[in-house]
Structure 1
Amino acid sequence: MDQLTFAGAPGIIVLSAYAVMMLAIGFWVSRQRRGVRDDMQSYYLAGRNLGVLVLFFTLYATQYSGNNIVGYAPSAYRMGFAWWQSVMFMTVIIGGYLLFAPRLHKIARENRFITPTDWLRHRFGSPAISLFAALLMLWALGNFLLEQLVAMGHGISGLTGGTVPYQAAMLAFVFVMLAYSWLGGMRAVAFTDVMQGIALLIGVLVLVAGGLYLIGGGLGDAFGHVVTAEPDKAATPSSEGSVSWLSMLVLVGIGAAVYPHAIQRVYAAESAATLRRSLARMAWMPLITTALVFMVGIIAIQLYPGLSDAESEQLVGLIANDVAGINPFFYVMMILLFGGVVAAIVSTADSVLLAFSSIISKDIVRQHLAPSAGEKTVLLVGKVGGVIALAALLMLAWNPPTLLVNIFVLKFELLIQIAPAFIIGLYWKRMGSGPVLVGMVVGALISGGMALAGVPTLYGVHAGVVGLSVNTVIAVLGSLLVPHRDAPDPGEADTAGPKADAADPREGSPGEGSAERATG
């Protein structure tokens, strides 16, 4: 991206326009929220009133970052047809949602959940499980946010041809992100997701069309070239490669579905029907987004043969240069594409920051540090805590030490360890808190230990999936072996006795938030 011939002033203009639109959305949402109670439900979940269109785009933005565009095409270039797995695992994520999202939405609405750990607290009644899960989520979110900050700096610097330095680029858009997130919460984040989602979809479509124009043929010609010119990239994968493919489907399909910011969008849906309709549309997006990015990488094999691994990382910038030179229309669309990529990175970062702040507010401060604090106080502490965490991550992203970066790559490997408690615990009443906690801790230790020891896979199976397998066995067998204690039906609201947060008068009435409806 640092060699774009259309970089410089045009890039600065486009990025400035995106920044102004984001700030305008935050300001508009803040005006719409006047007179609406400033509580965690309103700020973190948009009053639980996201409609089909807005929910669809914010789910889309949750799964598709700018990194998917600039990172997946080089992978397709290097791996060839084997990288079709990216389309598969982005599709499996929707299956991961469907394992638990509609059922969890019903329970969350009845019990007024705010964060993912509210479900664990409701289901198992174990502070240890809730706290450990919250720490795993904060780690994964910190990792994800660090990735987005680094990508943000490189993306903006590249689009402007170095006119805006890496560090200045990060600071400028972090300020923009903080401003509109602070003003409008999830509602502002969701509406910026709509903007960046449209920009990405249009830009990728034009990029593929321009690439096909450059090779002077269709997709069949591009695929045929790979088979004849580089048959290794069209070869049948090895047995271990096939196992790795299946392992990746499990790791990403389940791991991405239980991202905290993804679960909060499940909570924020206006209704179960709205959630199902949005997920049904999401099922098509891997073919419309990831498959198109895969095609960009395949087309580039013919356009730029022999690139090294390092050179291939600049692939999207290279092809965008050539597409921009076709005619003025493609020139303008490529500028908009890269502006959309940057906006997508920022939009993903704001979702992560919002989820991070909510966990600090609800699961750390409200549950453990200051249980008697008022709603506005806890919300403010969460906002400030998110800003402090962001400042710390900015320091890492400024000039990241290699060791810390290597540690922070532990994302899905650790996060996926909460999946048995979320998915199995949602359907199986007998699942016990003790075995769940032990399984979660052992799974995290195995996954983290393998990754840090430089053993990312075991016979093709990813460290996170190895840990998840052991975790699940411990949780299931342990629940069968230990004496069974009656637990609330995982599919029903907890109506017996006081509820930790649902009965708190500071949370407001179930009907609050309707004034900020977003039907989409």
Structure 2
Amino acid sequence: MTLSAQLGIIVGYLVLALLIGLSAYRLTDRTAADFYLASRTLGTVVLLSTTFATLLSAFTFFAGPNIAYHEGPEWILVMGLMDGIIFAILWYVIGYKQWLLGQQYDYVTLGEMLGDRFGSGLLRGLIAAVSLLWLFPYVMLQQVGAGTALETLTDGAIPYWAGAGLITAFMILYVVLAGMRGIAWTDTLQGAFMLVVTWVAMLWLLTAIGGPTSATAALETEAAAHVALGSDHYTPQWMLSRALVIGFGVAMFPQVNQRFFAAGSRTVLKRSFALWPILCVLLFVPSFMIGAWAHGLDVTVPADGNVLPIVLTEFTPGWFAALVIAGAMAAMMSSSDSMLLSGSSYFTRDLYRPLAEFSSRDVSERREDLLARVGVVVFATAAFLVSLVNPATLFELGDAAFSGFAQLALPVLAALYWRRTTRAGIGAGILLSQTFYLLSHFTTVVPGTYAGWTAGVVGMALGLGATVGVSLVTTPAAAERRALYFDGNETGAE
């Protein structure tokens, strides 16, 4: 298949996704609630699909199969089973409470919700700053994934920088124009499309190599440890650490957390989190098994390469490989556009607006809207430039983001369910856990593992301990509204 035909399939699919988003934009009200939350009207299919597609990132399609290729298919247990269950539980425990509060007080961001409860613009800004910090590597993850995928698919004819630049341009254009409603509509297409093509890709591969028995036998011959449960890599501590930081981190991702506010009713929420684990298994089993079986096949995967496009190029027609990569890139765009949209709301509502109000400046909707769109361009461009200079591995980028966001989860849980939590307590919990994890990730001052447990999990425990301990020895500030989360918030449409 010619290079122009492959590129035409990929660009054509991205354009189709863009057109769907633009169609939704025509129905968008020019309000913050509609731009960021689709006016809190999402139904079960759309809410589940947009949350699902938002998480269908380069970490899913490239980093996951890479881990299964190098270390074995147990990664399915982490991402497909444990994380599916952990996040479904958190969707109920955190998401349902947030939805109730959002219905009553019209919150748009996590920072607004916590800042209101604790009477602190500083806390609101801290949460926004931390969230923007960890969004950066996850946006980079999509750009690196797209760049390496296109480079592999075209045998280097399209260089890494061009692939990364293509998805950056599309994500900027999409976010600036579409808003949450457009993103949600497109995500519904993305989720259904990727479920279908990953299963077709796995079945196509198995047909080409003689079925699952032959594939597993070849894998056992090449790497017998890959067909046995457990290894030096997949220790119980490692697997539980990854499952915990990914599950709790996902719940704090701005693009996911804001969807807790967007459901049309509590029935929508309940159906969505009940179906979530099923969707995770349906997606991760085929994509990760392709990566695992590839280890027994006669394919060459460079140390820094991605196994999925290499296997597809080798065992499926060029048009199908291009279609899968197009869908994967569109899924990465779905992640990126949601991240940039949420990041813009955190920037304008939790950083710009409080600062403007503090300095007695007028906060016009028009100016805030302009800043949000400019912020999207600046943030995405900066991530693209850094990805050109230092393209870390996909797993490293994803792990940093998941673990960083996970540090927010337990202090937030304490605030939602423990009336005794104080402003000083939650502030101490967030600052201590974030500082600990940053030092462990970027320096050698703090070790990265503790008896097999990662620093991300240890940081979470430290954050919870600090939140509880400091809250017990401090008195609430005068501006705190201790009853806000506990009185009269069981209203809402069924």
TM-score (norm 2): 0.89
Matches within 5 A, 1:137-156: 137-156=131-150
Structure 1 gaps, min length 5: 1-5, 326-330, 496-509, 512-520
Aligned partners of 1:408 and 1:280: how far apart in 2?
Answer: 25
Aligned residues of 2:245 and 2:403 also touching (Cα < 8 A): yes
Q: Which residue of 2 aligns with 1:231?
A: 224
When structure 1 is superposed on structure 2, of 354-363 and 39-48 the one drifting more is 39-48
Aligned partners of 1:295 and 1:401: how far apart in 2?
Answer: 26
TM-fit CA distance, 1:163: 4.0
Aligned residues of 1:211 and 1:299 also touching (Cα < 8 A): no
Change (3 A) 1:407 1:280: closer
| 2:482 aligned to which of 472, 483, 487 | 487
Aligned partners of 1:336 and 1:243: how far apart in 2?
Answer: 38
CA-to-partner distance for each residue in 1:22-44, whole Å, 9 max, x for gaps?
332233123223xx3x1211111
TM-fit CA distance, 1:89: 4.0
Change (3 A) 1:154 1:302: closer
Q: Which residue of 2 aligns with 1:517?
A: none
Q: Does 1:366 align with 2:353?
A: yes
Amino acid at match of 1:23: L
Q: Does 1:48 align with 2:59?
A: no
CA-to-partner distance for each residue in 1:489-517, whole Å, 9 max, x for gaps?
4234689xxxxxxxxxxxxxx99xxxxxx
Change (3 A) 1:7 1:80: farther
CA-to-partner distance for each residue in 1:319-378, whole Å, 9 max, x for gaps?
2123325xxxxx543332111011111111111110111111100111123463122321
**Once the two structures are aligned, what percentage of the paired residues are identical?**
25
Q: Which residue of 2 aligns with 1:26?
A: 21
SS across alignment from 2:472? helix
SS across alignment from 2:26? helix
Q: Which residue of 2 aligns with 1:317?
A: 309
Aligned residues of 2:180 and 2:341 also touching (Cα < 8 A): yes
| 2:236 aligned to which of 235, 242, 246 | 242
Q: Which residue of 2 aligns with 1:419?
A: 409
Amino acid at match of 1:52: T
Aligned partners of 2:397 and 2:56: how far apart in 1?
Answer: 23
TM-fit CA distance, 1:226: 4.3
TM-fit CA distance, 1:436: 1.3
Q: Does 1:78 align with 2:70?
A: yes
Q: Which residue of 1 aligns with 2:326?
A: 339
SS across alignment from 1:411? helix
CA-to-partner distance for each residue in 1:232-253, whole Å, 9 max, x for gaps?
2225345982111111111111
Aligned residues of 1:30 and 1:184 also touching (Cα < 8 A): yes
Aligned residues of 1:80 and 1:298 also touching (Cα < 8 A): yes
Change (3 A) 1:9 1:419: same
Q: Which residue of 1 aligns with 2:80?
A: 87
Q: Which segments of structure 1 move beyond 6 Å, counting only runs of 4 or more?
A: 405-409
Q: Does 1:8 align with 2:3?
A: yes
CA-to-partner distance for each residue in 1:308-327, whole Å, 9 max, x for gaps?
6617x3421232123325xx
Structure 2 gaps, min length 5: none
Aligned residues of 1:203 and 1:334 also touching (Cα < 8 A): no
Amino acid at match of 1:346: M
Paired residues in the alignment total: 480
Q: Which residue of 2 aligns with 1:189?
A: 183
Amino acid at match of 1:462: T
Aligned residues of 2:140 and 2:397 also touching (Cα < 8 A): no
Change (3 A) 1:246 1:191: same
| 1:399 aligned to which of 389, 403, 411 | 389
TM-fit CA distance, 1:161: 4.3
CA-to-partner distance for each residue in 1:113-171, whole Å, 9 max, x for gaps?
11111111122222232221111100111121122122223333444444444333333
CA-to-partner distance for each residue in 1:287-324, whole Å, 9 max, x for gaps?
1111112211232132238x56617x342123212332
TM-fit CA distance, 1:78: 1.4
Aligned partners of 1:80 and 1:316: how far apart in 2?
Answer: 15
TM-fit CA distance, 1:206: 1.0
Aligned partners of 2:234 and 2:325: how far apart in 1?
Answer: 36
| 2:117 aligned to which of 123, 129, 132 | 123
| 1:259 aligned to which of 220, 229, 253 | 253
Aligned partners of 1:406 and 1:336: how far apart in 2?
Answer: 27
Q: Which residue of 1 aligns with 2:169?
A: 175
Aligned partners of 1:434 and 1:89: how far apart in 2?
Answer: 33
Change (3 A) 1:364 1:493: farther
Q: Does 1:460 align with 2:452?
A: yes
CA-to-partner distance for each residue in 1:362-414, whole Å, 9 max, x for gaps?
001111234631223212212212212222222212333779x9899732332
Q: Which residue of 2 aligns with 1:435?
A: 425
Aligned partners of 1:239 and 1:186: how far apart in 2?
Answer: 40
SS across alignment from 1:303? coil
Change (3 A) 1:169 1:334: closer
Aligned residues of 1:413 and 1:448 also touching (Cα < 8 A): no
Q: Does 1:389 align with 2:372?
A: no
Q: Does 1:446 align with 2:436?
A: yes
SS across alignment from 1:283? helix
Aligned partners of 2:99 and 2:335: how far apart in 1?
Answer: 22
TM-score (norm 1): 0.85
Change (3 A) 1:151 1:226: closer
SS across alignment from 2:303? helix
SS across alignment from 1:491? coil
Aligned residues of 2:67 and 2:75 also touching (Cα < 8 A): yes
Aligned partners of 2:229 and 2:275: how far apart in 1?
Answer: 33
Aligned partners of 2:238 and 2:208: how far apart in 1?
Answer: 34
Aligned partners of 1:430 and 1:287: how far apart in 2?
Answer: 39
TM-fit CA distance, 1:271: 1.4
SS across alignment from 2:72? helix
Q: Which residue of 2 aligns with 1:376?
A: 366
